[in-house]
A and B are shown apart, each in its own frame.
Chain A
């Protein structure tokens, strides 16, 4: 039977792992390669690596790091961070990643997604849509690590990305990031009801039951989280963990 993927999303600041809260308050987590080894042992479905230090500094995720992850990972993995060109995608794929995630550049140049999916196939291109409400305003898409409001409506943008050939939409709530209080199910549902490509929920998952809800109530087929897989216990001690899939009944 088909089941949704449970996806740890690991944030990179250059070559070490960090975790954010509301796209701020970065906390050091550890070494990415060590994390991959642990997730291998735990049998994780898929991994996502996002380098948050790239867009601002106008560079792309380190290829050496992608290569090292590829050497270790026994599962599919996807990388993102500062991707703006076709050749960068080619390099990342040949370094061993299955997919790339494009965020800010999809906002500033939506046609880039078309070019990229025509070149590499839709299943290689995922688009991450970061969403936040402006004070007294409507929900909109933000870019550059949540610092730049685009004025775009999340659903309309998701539909445009699907039309341009994206193979997957990652929908991330900036307000829920790091909260561990649950996903923004309404936001996710709004997207899954209209787009026909896989939708990955991100931002806010704090328990396994949050993951289930995103699948059952909001129809996301990718259930992604950061804090849930790197923190443990009420004091949020750093401990890489992953739910036992046999215990989850979807």
Chain B
């Protein structure tokens, strides 16, 4: 049976490019908008751009917060959070002072930049990513590859073992996380040329 990958649509940014990339990789993505759409999907991508608190509210209104939480905790199937989607996996965020799913222990904090002339927030652009542990998600991607970032906040993990990748923007921050079947990337694989496509392919192949 063909693999079904769900992409969560909760009104935060566009899923167009993620959808398009999955189609290019010969999968049939399913857009999840209501709790019952989740039944039967094999993997989930949680994208998102925008405000943390608003994202949580947008997930709560149609009952998606609860159903996603159940799917993740009971089915234990792979989920990939992208950008804000990764941040939502944390316990809480400074952005709007709200609670997240708490799947991977940690907090989302705003960049604390000293040299504001050189490092403008949001970090907008290409930066290199250093892999800190063995991972199937990063297979075939050479260490130090560039990915596209746009963000003002970043994840801080409570357990260092959950950090998958690190990136430097004045200081080093966690740019990807992995714990069991949970994955999150702060950068945008769907916008990162061939390297990004490889990462999405790795997620499909997990």
Contacts and interface: CB of A to CB of B under 8 A. Distances in A.
Interface of A: 1-5, 40, 43, 45-46, 70-71, 73-76, 93-98, 120-124, 167-168, 192-193, 195-199, 219, 221-222
Chain B binding site: helix, strand, loop or mixed by DSSP?
mixed
A197 B148 contact: no
Given A76-B148, A121-B49, A43 B16 contact: no
Contacts of B124: 5, 123, 167-168, 198, 221-222
A123 B111 CA distance: 14
Contacts, number: 99
B152 interface: yes
Interface stretch (B70-78, B113-121, B158-166): B113-121
A46 B116 CA distance: 23
A75 B13 contact: no
A40 B17 CA distance: 14
Interface in B147-187: 148, 150-152, 168-169
Chain A binding site: helix, strand, loop or mixed by DSSP?
loop
Contact of A75 (B118, B122, B191): B191
A3 B125 contact: yes
A197 B174 CA distance: 22
Nearest to B118: A219
Contacts of B169: 2
A193 B116 CA distance: 9
Given A1-B128, A121-B49, A74 B193 contact: yes
Contacts of A75: 148, 191-193
Contact of A70 (B16, B49, B152): B16
B125 A222 contact: yes
Contact of A2 (B116, B125, B196): B125
Contacts of B120: 195-199, 221
Contact of A93 (B14, B123, B128, B191): B14
Nearest to B151: A123
A125 to B, nearest CB: 11
Contact of A121 (B20, B50, B126): B50
Which 8 pairs of residues, A with B, have the shortest CB-CB distance? A121-B50, A96-B16, A198-B120, A5-B125, A123-B150, A76-B191, A2-B127, A198-B124
Given A192-B117, A193-B117, 19 more contacts: A1-B168, A3-B126, A3-B127, A70-B17, A74-B191, A74-B193, A74-B197, A76-B150, A93-B13, A93-B14, A96-B16, A96-B17, A96-B20, A121-B13, A121-B49, A123-B122, A123-B124, A197-B120, A222-B125
